[in-house]
């Protein structure tokens, strides 16, 4: 019997990252990356074969990935949203946003490239509609997501033996979205949003499309009106 593939998911302590971990757990060894050690430990206990990987992604180093010799799937799900008009956002907010949404993903990928190459693996970047269109008040976040898109496009061309997918979901029913709506001053309306589980299933589908299929971009939007 062949050994199960391995998937590393960042931002796995909650939201989309946790949903992705649950989606992959039946078929993969899952490495749960994130800051919240207790939440990661609880999820690892729930998923057979999963292990917590507490890490500060903005300072990830060689020692953190020691022992990961082969990696079939890397999902960049960790991220943060800081809204505000350009005239009101100081440089530290831009730096914080870029550090987690872009630099951490780029550095972790760089460190794991030998393991990914060995498995002819798949890198998936959870982006946003803001990675395709920038709106007022979203300058810092959109800039980080536009840059993440460019990172994925470059990686895809530089590493032709890897598959690289950028996922552009609309609003998702998560704690992060609740915080976004608070920053926007609007109501949190989960019935109008995607579920984290739907996004996770789409990510899993991109990874299981077949060895001859390279799904480079995936856009998801909530269905308007009642679901029948």
Per-position DSSP letters for the chain, written without gaps between them: -PPPPEEEESSTTSHHHHHHHHHHTTTSEEEEEES-HHHHHHHHHHSTT-EEEE--GGG--GGGGTT----SEEEE---------GGG--HHHHHHHHIIIIIHHHHHHHHHHHHHHHHT-EEEEE--GGGT---TT-HHHHHHHHHHHHHHHHHHHH-TTSEEEEEEE--BSSHHHHHHHHHHT----GGGSB-HHHHHHHHHHHHTS-TT----EEEE-PPSS---
Q: Where are the domains of the chain?
A: 6-210
Percent of the chain with pLDDT over 70: 97
- Annotated catalytic residues are 141
Residue 227 to residue 176: CA distance in whole angstroms = 24
Contact criterion met (CB below 8 Å) for 155 and 162: yes
Q: Residue written as tokens 């909650």? A: 14
Q: How confident is the model at residue 192 (pLDDT cuts 50, 70, 90)?
A: confident
Output the pLDDT for position 111: 98
The lowest-confidence range among 1-5, 33-37, 169-173 is: 1-5
Output the pLDDT for position 173: 73
Q: How many residues does the chain have?
A: 228
Q: How confident is the model at residue 21 (pLDDT cuts 50, 70, 90)?
A: very high
Q: How confident is the model at residue 1 (pLDDT cuts 50, 70, 90)?
A: very low
pLDDT at 16 over 80: yes
pLDDT at 49 over 50: yes
Output the pLDDT for position 225: 54
The lowest-confidence range among 98-102, 160-164, 179-183, 194-198 is: 179-183
Superfamily of domain 6-210: NAD(P)-binding Rossmann-like Domain (3.40.50.720)
- pLDDT tens per residue, range 129-166: 999 999 999 999 999 999 999 999 999 999 999 999 99
pTM: 0.92
- pLDDT tens per residue, range 60-119: 999 999 999 999 999 999 999 999 999 999 999 999 999 999 999 999 999 999 999 999
Q: Residue written as tokens 């956002």? A: 89
């Amino acid at each position: 019997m062949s050994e199960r593939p391995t998937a590393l998911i960042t931002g796995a302590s909650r939201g989309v990252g946790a949903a992705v971990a649950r989606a992959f757990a039946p078929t993969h060894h899952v490495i749960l990356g994130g800051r919240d050690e207790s939440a990661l430990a609880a999820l690892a206990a729930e998923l057979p074969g999963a292990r917590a990987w507490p890490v500060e992604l903005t300072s990830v180093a060689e020692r953190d990935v020691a022992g990961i010799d082969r990696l079939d799937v890397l999902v960049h799900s960790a991220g943060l949203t800081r809204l505000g008009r350009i005239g009101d956002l100081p440089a530290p907010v831009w730096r914080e946003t870029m550090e987690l949404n872009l630099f951490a993903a780029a550095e972790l990928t760089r460190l794991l490239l030998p393991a990914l190459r060995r498995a002819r693996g798949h890198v998936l970047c959870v982006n946003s509609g803001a990675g395709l269109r920038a709106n007022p008040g979203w300058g810092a976040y959109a800039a980080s997501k536009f840059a993440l898109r460019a990172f994925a496009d470059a990686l895809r061309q530089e590493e032709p033996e890897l598959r690289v997918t950028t996922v552009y979901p609309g609003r998702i029913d998560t704690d992060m979205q609740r915080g976004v709506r608070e920053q926007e001053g609007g109501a949190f309306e989960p019935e109008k949003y995607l579920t984290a589980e739907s996004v996770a299933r789409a990510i899993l589908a991109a990874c299981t499309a077949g060895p001859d299929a390279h799904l480079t971009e995936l856009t998801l939007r909530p269905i308007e009106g009642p679901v029948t």
